[in-house]
Amino acid sequence: MLIQQKQGNLNSFDSGNRRIDRLPLEWYEASKRILHKRTESGKEVIMKFLGESQNLTQDDVLYYDENLVIAIDIMPCDAIIIRPKNMFEMASVCYEIGNKHLPLFFNEDEVLVVFEQPLFRLLSASGYEIDRGSRKLVNPLKTTVAAHGNNAGGETLFSKIMKLTGSSE
Which pLDDT score, from 0 to 100, does residue 91 have?
86
Model pTM score: 0.76
Q: What DSSP character marks residue 18?
A: P
Which pLDDT score, from 0 to 100, does residue 55 have?
84
Residue 2: C-alpha distances to residues 122, 142, 161 (Å): 44, 29, 43
Among residues 114, 52, 103, 51, which one has the least CA distance to residue 81? 114
Digit-coded pLDDT (tens) for 89-102: 888 888 888 888 88
82 touches 128 (CB < 8 A): yes
Alpha-carbon distance 68 to 85, whole Å?
44
Alpha-carbon distance 28 to 163, whole Å?
32
Q: What DSSP character marks residue 52?
A: S
Which of the four pLDDT bands, split at 50, 70 and 90, describes residue 28? very high
Give 68: exposed, middle or buried? Use CB within 10 Å, 0-12, 13-18, 19+: middle
